[in-house]
């Protein structure tokens, strides 16, 4: 009885406090948001939901094979126990760690250099973008020829300069293939990293450095105490961009190795499962795994960023 | 001022990138184009052209055609002639050079019910997978199909429907340099794999003194459909079965492992180390540039090697592939068919194009200009054809043909072939066969159970 007697006034006044105008404004806000939400739903949520749905079915790519039916978690268990998938995940992670760390360090050095003032800085800033401006497939094909063991220019120069004892099949030999493909990705993407970091460097006020000079801080101290802390937001954005890109890598690997087993990345595994083998359901399950792996990285980065803000 | 300079720079960089892209694209398309012969002989005229023109003139169709060797040049010449005679406009798009990539392209188009492809060339192992998407050609081309070899027509007939027309055939043959064999004291080409490796080693050791790029033997070792074809020849010619026999995977046997390990031992010794990424074009290029003593390839390479621009013109010949200790020489059956898409908006005009392309006159033209194997037996026996294509001589053409296990796998062929070529490629890249074959065998058996 007491519960009935006890009034629960808390929410009511709050609701009452909303004026007509406020309500109208809220409605208008939702109305204006609808187009954007519809676009997001159409291009992001719908495909994602469909992929998740397909991952529970045995759907095939081509017609007339088997009628599509619900198979529960079968696809997930098949992918989970497939050594080729495990290999693809490990390879992709290795590739991401190698390329992102090299690109970050090299990109930071380049950004610091082109941020300082010297003659021809404008030219330098533009020229460094050339690798980034070449389409990936074209750049990869170029490098594939340059790294070839019979007519490749890299081997030719290496042997002439006595750096190499004999021509090496950088791409075919499993012991060097990951290094070769990582090198090409680093060559291509470092300019992009440098550009993002340069943008971050340019918003750091110069008077901080002037003050540090007055206080007698060395250049190295200035870098660790001023540049790096103030660059942190730009660094995080760069790392998120690059890590997500590296985890989804497809083109360089596909041009370099085609369907080779030991060089399958997650994206190539999925493409070859869906389109080559025709198993849409199985490929969808792998896509969901890949989505979760990438989501995990995003969560880690975003948490790190928040902690940092506080 | 500053902005303007930046803009100019950005433009310059764009231009550099564009030039780089274009030069790569040009390099890739220029390499195999030695077109002297194709241009020398005119494409045959279209029979009954006036009637076709009256009915279908002005329609536009798209043909997804060849990209290997001079295939695209031939397709363009024939399409041009067809358009001139019938008024049906044919746009020719070359498909990806790796057959499994071409499969993926068509699978994507068919599954999305795309009408952008009217007619496509399909591999001898695909009719089973694509049959639901293809037009039955029997009503209109049934009579013409009787001219073609019965075995291929049977391969292209699925559930009583003729889903594709035989276009040209293929089987693996051995190319060898007659001048180098003579120079190093050999009277005849090798008949066994171990002979081949010995001869390749001796010739390579001698030739590398003047040409460091020289290799004894080249073949298709990339992880793609062509490697399944090469490996089938190695295994079958060593008495190791046909990968799948009587519906069961048999690839994991000692004879197969022995020959695969023997080939692996040659990678980087008598073959370039990079052979594990070679496809047909790289093989042809190495041999026709004078950088190889032996090559395994399809007959199309003969025509390119025999043209005026080739460095090996008059210096090479062909024979059957070698065999292993316990086997006999074999050649993997390849070959291409023309199929009409169910989603085509101009089926009748397209069928007329197929009728022309698979006619005896065009097959003869293709055999003489491009050294492709005619699927019409009477054309294959034609004197002019045999003269330009010595591999059609009975001694070579009668080699035992081995077929890829498509009939056991049907719609799962592409998936199974991937398991095979990925496994073989792993072996060639350095893993002993005994570590790879059991896994390949069990995966194949899993796929066979899916049906």
Cα nearest neighbour of B129 on chain A: A62
**In chain B, positions 349-408, which contact chain A (CB-CB < 8 Å)?**
none
- Chain A CB within 8 Å of residue B343 CB: no
Check the CA dihedral A41-A46-A47-A52 and report its sign: positive
B147 & B180 share domain? no
Examine the domain organization and report whether B441 and B382 are in the same domain: no
Q: Is residue B3 part of a domain?
A: no
How many structural domains compose chain B?
2
Q: Which one-letter DSSP state was computed for residue A57? A: B
Handedness of CA A99, A101, A102, A104 (dihedral sign): positive
DSSP E strand boundaries for B313-405: 316-319, 330-340, 373-374, 400-402
**Min CA distance, B276 vs chain A (Å)?**
6
Q: How confident is the model at residue B27 (pLDDT cuts 50, 70, 90)?
A: low
Q: Is B377 helix (H, G, I), strand (E, B) or coil?
A: helix
Nearest chain A Cα to B413, which residue?
A277
Q: Is residue B326 part of a domain?
A: yes
Nearest CA in chain A to B279: A258
Alpha-carbon distance A63 to nearest alpha carbon in chain B (angstroms): 7
Please check whether residues B161 and B198 belong to one and the same domain: no
Indicate the Cα dihedral angle B376, B382, B388, B393, nearest 10°: 80
Which residue from B minimizes the CA distance to A174? B429
Phi first, then psi: give them for residue A161, nearest 5 degrees.
-85, 5
Judged by average pLDDT, the poorest of A9-23, A276-290, B174-188, B301-315 is A9-23
CATH number at B391 reads 3.40.190.10
Whether residue B374 sits in one domain with residue B304: no
- pLDDT single digits (tens) B92-143: 999 998 888 899 999 999 988 999 999 999 999 999 889 999 999 999 999 9
CA of A233 to nearest chain B CA: how many angstroms apart?
27
CA distance, residue B304 to nearest chain A CA (Å): 21
Does residue B320 lie within any of the structural domains? yes
- Least Cα distance to B336 among B46, B119, B181, B13 occurs for B119
Which of B132, B215, B274 is facing A172, going by the closest CB pair?
B274
Is B448 an interface residue toward A (CB < 8 Å)?
Answer: no
CA dihedral A163→A169→A175→A179, nearest 10 degrees, is 70
| φ, ψ dihedrals at A95, nearest 5° | -60, -45
Answer yes or no: is B29 within a domain. Answer: no
Q: Which of B369, B386, B401 is the last residue of a domain?
A: B401
Whether residues B382 and B421 share a domain: the answer is no
* pLDDT, tens digit (0-9, with 9 covering 90-100), for B422-443: 999 999 999 999 999 999 999 9
Length of chain B in residues, anyone? Answer: 451
The residue in chain B having the minimum alpha-carbon distance to the alpha carbon of residue A149 is B274
Same domain, B88 and B116: yes
Is residue B39 pLDDT above 80, yes or no?
Answer: no
- CA nearest to B276, candidates B223, B230, B204: B223
How many whole angstroms from its chain centre is CA B364? 18
Rounded to an integer, what distance in angstroms lies between the CA atom of residue B374 and that of residue B167? 7
Residues B162 and B244 placed together within one structural domain of the fold: no
Rg of chain B taking only CA atoms, in angstroms: 23
B314 and B422: one domain? yes
Which whole number is the average pLDDT over B158-167?
Answer: 95
Please check the confidence at residue B218 and state whether its pLDDT lies above 90. yes
CB-CB contact of B246 with B405 (8 Å): no
pLDDT digits (tens, 9 = 90+) for B43-87: 999 999 999 999 999 999 999 999 998 999 999 999 999 999 999
Which chain A residue is nearest to residue B419, measuring alpha carbons? A261
- The minimum CA-CA distance between B205 and chain A, rounded to whole Å, is 15
Q: Which residue of A has its CA nearest to B436?
A: A261
Q: Is the pLDDT of residue A3 over 70?
A: no
Mean pLDDT of chain B: 91
Question: What confidence tens digit (pLDDT) does each residue in B168-210 have?
Answer: 999 999 999 999 999 999 999 999 999 999 999 999 999 999 9
Domain holding B251, by residue range, is 173-332+402-449
Instruction: Select the residue from B429, B435, B449 to test the A interface by mutation, using most A Cβ atoms within 10 A.
Output: B429
Could you tell me which residues of chain A have a Cβ less than 8 Å from any Cβ in chain B?
A: 61-65, 122-123, 126-127, 129-130, 133-135, 138, 141-142, 145, 148-151, 167-169, 171-174, 257-262, 272, 275-279
The pLDDT of residue B229 is 97
d(CA A270, CA A291): 12
* Interchain CB distance below 8 Å, A261 and B215: no
Identify the pLDDT of residue B32: 42
Question: Same domain, yes or no, for B248 and B207?
Answer: yes
Q: How many residue contacts between A and B have a Cβ separation below 8 Å?
A: 126
Kind and range of the H or E run holding B294 = strand B292-297
Exposed, middle or buried, A115 (CB in 10 Å: 0-12/13-18/19+)?
middle
Look at residue A116 in the predicted model and tell me its pLDDT: 87
Output the CA–CA distances (angstroms, integers) from residue A157 to A153, A162, A163, A201, B115, in the order listed.
Answer: 6, 8, 8, 37, 50
Distance between CA atoms of residues B188 and A47, nearest Å: 62
pTM: 0.86
Q: Does B291 touch chain A (CB under 8 A)?
A: yes
Is the CB of residue B59 less than 8 Å from the CB of residue B88? yes
Which position has the higher pLDDT, B27 or B216? B216
CA angle A42, A46, A52 (to 5 degrees): 165
Where does the pLDDT of residue B19 fall: very low under 50, low under 70, confident under 90, or very high at 90 and above?
Answer: low
pLDDT at A124: 87
Contact, A57 vs A69, CB < 8 A? yes
Residues of A in contact with B444 (CB under 8 A): none
Beta partners for B63?
B92, B119
Q: Is residue B267 part of a domain?
A: yes
Q: Residue holding tokens 């939702």?
A: A30
Q: Which residues of chain B does A127 touch, with a Cβ-Cβ cutoff of 8 Å? A: 9, 13
Each residue's pLDDT tens digit, A143-170: 999 998 888 899 999 999 998 888 889 9
Instruction: Pick B17's closest partner by Cβ from A64, A130, A277.
Output: A130
Return d(Cα B69, Cα B203) in angstroms, integer: 27
| CB–CB contact A149 B274 (8 Å) | yes
Domain over A74-309 is classified CATH 1.10.3720.10: yes
**Same domain, yes or no, for B66 and B165?**
yes
Q: Residue B25 pLDDT more than 60?
A: no
Q: What's the rounded Cα separation, in Å, for the pair B234 and B330?
A: 9
CB B63 within 8 A of CB B381: no
Q: Are residues B223 and B277 both part of a single domain?
A: yes
Phi, psi dihedrals of residue B62, rounded to the nearest 5°: -115, 130
Is the torsion defined by CA of B202, B207, B212, B214 positive or negative?
Answer: negative
For residues B121 and B219, membership in a common domain is answered with: no
List, for residues A89-137, the tens digit of each pLDDT value.
Answer: 999 999 999 999 999 999 999 999 999 888 888 888 888 899 999 999 9
């Amino acid at each position: 009885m007491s519960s009935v007697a006890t009034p629960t006034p808390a929410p009511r006044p709050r609701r009452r406090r909303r004026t007509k105008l406020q309500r109208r404004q809220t409605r208008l806000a939702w109305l204006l948001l609808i187009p954007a939400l519809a676009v997001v739903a159409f291009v992001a949520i719908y495909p994602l939901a469909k992929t998740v749905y397909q991952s529970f079915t045995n759907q095939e790519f081509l017609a007339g094979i088997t009628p599509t039916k619900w198979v529960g978690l079968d696809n997930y268990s098949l992918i989970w126990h497939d050594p080729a998938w495990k290999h693809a995940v490990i390879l992709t992670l290795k590739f991401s760690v190698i390329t992102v760390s090299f690109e970050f360090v090299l990109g930071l050095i380049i950004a610091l250099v082109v941020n300082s003032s010297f003659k021809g800085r404008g030219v330098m800033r533009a020229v460094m973008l050339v690798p980034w401006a070449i389409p990936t497939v074209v750049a990869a094909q170029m490098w594939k020829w340059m790294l070839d063991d019979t007519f490749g220019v890299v081997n030719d120069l290496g042997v002439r300069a006595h750096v190499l004892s004999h021509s090496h099949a950088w791409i075919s030999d499993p012991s060097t293939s990951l290094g070769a493909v990582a090198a090409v990705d680093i060559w291509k993407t470092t300019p992009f990293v440098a550009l993002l970091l340069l943008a971050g460097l340019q918003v750091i006020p110069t008077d901080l450095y002037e003050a540090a000079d007055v206080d007698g801080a060395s250049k190295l101290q200035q870098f660790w105490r001023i540049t790096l802390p103030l660059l942190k937001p730009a660094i995080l954005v760069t790392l998120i961009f690059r890590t997500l890109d590296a985890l989804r890598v497809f083109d360089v690997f596909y041009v370099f190795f085609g369907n080779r087993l030991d060089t399958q990345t997650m994206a190539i595994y999925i493409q070859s499962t869906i389109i080559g083998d025709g198993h849409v359901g199985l490929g969808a399950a792998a896509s969901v795994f890949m989505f979760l792996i990438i989501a995990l990285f995003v969560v880690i980065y975003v948490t790190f960023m928040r902690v940092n803000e506080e | 001022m500053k902005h303007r300079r930046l803009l100019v720079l950005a433009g310059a960089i764009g231009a550099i990138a564009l030039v780089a892209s274009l030069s790569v694209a040009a390099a890739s398309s220029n390499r195999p184009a030695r077109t002297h012969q194709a241009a020398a002989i005119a494409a045959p005229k279209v029979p009954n052209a006036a009637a076709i023109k009256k009915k279908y003139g002005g329609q536009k169709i798209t043909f997804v055609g060849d990209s290997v060797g001079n295939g695209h040049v031939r397709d363009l010449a024939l399409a041009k002639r067809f358009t001139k005679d019938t008024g049906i406009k044919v746009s020719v798009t070359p498909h990806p050079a790796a057959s499994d990539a071409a499969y993926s392209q068509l699978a994507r188009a068919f599954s999305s019910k795309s009408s952008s492809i009217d007619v496509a060339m399909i591999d001898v192992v695909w009719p089973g997978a694509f049959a639901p998407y293809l037009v039955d050609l029997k009503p209109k081309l049934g009579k013409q199909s009787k001219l073609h070899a019965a075995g291929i027509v049977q391969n292209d007939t699925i559930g009583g429907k003729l889903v594709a027309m035989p276009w040209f055939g293929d089987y693996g043959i051995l190319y060898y340099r007659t001048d180098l064999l003579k120079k190093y004291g050999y009277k005849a080409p090798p008949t066994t794999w171990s002979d081949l490796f010995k001869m390749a080693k001796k010739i390579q050791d001698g030739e590398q003194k003047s040409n460091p790029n020289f290799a004894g033997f080249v073949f298709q070792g990339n992880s793609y459909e062509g490697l399944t074809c090469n490996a089938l020849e190695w295994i079958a010619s060593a008495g190791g079965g046909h990968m799948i026999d009587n519906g069961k995977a048999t690839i994991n046997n000692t004879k197969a492992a022995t020959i695969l390990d023997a080939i692996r031992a040659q990678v980087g010794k008598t073959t370039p180390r990079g052979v594990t990424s070679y496809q047909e074009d790289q093989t042809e290029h190495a041999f026709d540039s004078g950088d190889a003593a032996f090559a395994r390839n399809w007959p199309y390479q003969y025509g390119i090697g025999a043209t005026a621009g080739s460095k090996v013109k008059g210096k090479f010949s062909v024979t059957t592939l070698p065999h292993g200790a316990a086997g006999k020489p074999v050649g993997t059956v390849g070959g291409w068919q023309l199929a009409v898409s169910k989603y085509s908006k101009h089926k009748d005009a397209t069928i007329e194009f197929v009728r022309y392309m698979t006619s005896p006159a065009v097959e003869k033209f293709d055999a003489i200009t491009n050294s492709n194997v005619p699927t019409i037996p009477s054309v294959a026996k034609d004197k002019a054809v045999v003269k330009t294509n010595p591999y059609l001589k009975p001694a070579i053409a009668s080699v035992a043909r081995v077929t890829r296990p498509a009939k056991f796998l049907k719609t799962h062929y592409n998936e199974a072939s991937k398991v095979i070529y990925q496994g073989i490629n792993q072996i060639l890249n350095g893993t002993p066969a005994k570590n790879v074959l059991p896994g390949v065998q069990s995966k194949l058996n899993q796929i066979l159970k899916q049906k």
